[in-house]
Structure 1
Amino acid sequence: MKISKDFYARDAITVSKELLGKILVRKVGETFLKGIIVETEAYIGAIDKASHAYGGKMTERVKPLYGPPGIVYVFSIYGMYHCFNIITKEEGTAEGVLIRAIEPVDGIEEMAKRRFDKTIDSLTNAQVKALTNGPSKLCIAFAINKQDNWVDMTESEELYLEEPSDNKTISDEDIVETTRIGIDYAEEAVHFPWRFYIKDNKWVSKK
């Protein structure tokens, strides 16, 4: 079942935790790629110096951050890689969740081709683990790029989230809360415990 807009229309921290265990679905041609979200980070523009919208910043690049809940915000890093975010809260409030890592479920052969231009059987164990264990890695594997900016995941048939088939939720005991990665510039926000991941999952980017 596709996840509805009401799910996203809440604060980024709550949504970050509850995204764990949800299924990311991407249709590429006739192939469906699916994976379990295992690691997230929350960003809250009003108080967060790590957010692209801190202090009410509004540029063409960050406009999606102010969009309605459930839309996609993709940004570039190092001029060649992408990071995939889902907007939360209400329209006009810059909050969102970075998807940091995915556990592959379906379409793994396509992911292997996109990440390493190899078949899944030819990958080393380290390469299999590296298919989607980082924000830019999962974007390559799932063919997510800036063309996906503004996509409404509650309406799209090509990029959306769904509940796991068993409707299993991740318990608080199985969620690790810690600091975010790669934001050394963000002063006190470096210490915000706004990264969340499923304990003992091998696809988490960093433990």
Structure 2
Amino acid sequence: MTVRRSQLAGPVLDVAPQLLGLVIRSTTSDGPVAVRLTEVEAYDGPNDPGSHAYRGQTPRNAVMFGPPGHLYVYFTYGMHFCMNIGAGPEGTPSAVLLRAGEVVEGKDLARTRRGLPEPAASAVLPGRAQKRPRLDPDRDLARGPARLCVALGIDREQNGVDLFAKDSPVRLLPGPSFDGIPSTGPRVGLRDAADWPWRFWIPDDPTVSPYRPHVPKRR
């Protein structure tokens, strides 16, 4: 099975849930890291007040106006990178924000980038009742759009890369498929169109990020 650019050329609300279960793989000089996508958000350009392209094209959002299948990376809050996959036909600035996923390759490198220690091995002593198993510490490696970029080594240098080019440092690949019905809900941290249910995620997956509504800044 392969992933084709044509799969991303439709309406963004159709494209976004189809990305669940696919794998985004980034290769740098340190090695590869791959993440199976478990949570995404759709943004529909001029039809969406929450989209970066709502008011037209700028140098920052230009990638969104190109052909589908290119990576749109932006810097936010003066500290984080987030990445999107361009969707819809060329000239239609739709995009899907990649919010979270499960690291399926390169966990040691992802932990190093995130500054996390190796998970400790748990031992059960004879005669001791076994405690409730702890949550997998690796669930947080790419849980949230900023963490996802850190784990994959994504920054502004990858803005505009073609996810379907054979020599691309970032590729969109098939993965363990998700054939169920995705959960939907409001997008995270938005001021405009905050209640639109355009966030999609794999139900009960531990790597899905927590929902946080937009909190207006105090003046």
Same fold (TM over 0.5): yes
In structure 2, distance between residues paired with 1:30 and 1:45: 35
Show the counterpart of 1:203.
207
In structure 1, distance between residues paired with 2:137 and 2:188: 22
1:80–1:30: structure 2 CA closer, same or farther, 3 Å change rule? closer
Q: Does 1:13 align with 2:13?
A: yes
Match of 2:172 among 149, 161, 170: 161
Contact 1:20/1:170 (8 A) holds in 2: no
Contact 2:21/2:36 (8 A) holds in 1: yes
* Structure whose CA Rg is larger: 2
1:33–1:2: structure 2 CA closer, same or farther, 3 Å change rule? farther
Identify unmatched segments of 5+ residues in structure 2.
122-133, 212-219
Point out the structure with the larger helix share.
Answer: 1
Identify unmatched segments of 5+ residues in structure 1.
none
Q: Does 1:92 align with 2:99?
A: no
1:30–1:80: structure 2 CA closer, same or farther, 3 Å change rule? closer
Q: CA deviation at 1:30?
A: 6.0
TM-score by length of 2: 0.84
Contact 2:119/2:137 (8 A) holds in 1: no
Q: Write the deviation string for residues 114-168 of structure 1: whole angstroms up to 9, x where unpaired.
A: 001x44236996853321100000101100111111101010432011112x5x3
Show the counterpart of 1:51.
51
1:115–1:68: structure 2 CA closer, same or farther, 3 Å change rule? same
> Counterparts of 1:1-207 in structure 2 under 5 Å?
2-29=2-29, 31-55=31-55, 57-116=56-115, 118-121=116-119, 128-155=138-165, 156-164=167-175, 168-172=177-181, 175-183=182-190, 185-186=191-192, 189-206=193-210
| SS of match in other structure, 1:93 | coil
In structure 1, distance between residues paired with 2:62 and 2:22: 26
TM-score by length of 1: 0.89
Show the counterpart of 2:130.
none
Identity %: 32
CA RMSD after TM alignment: 1.9
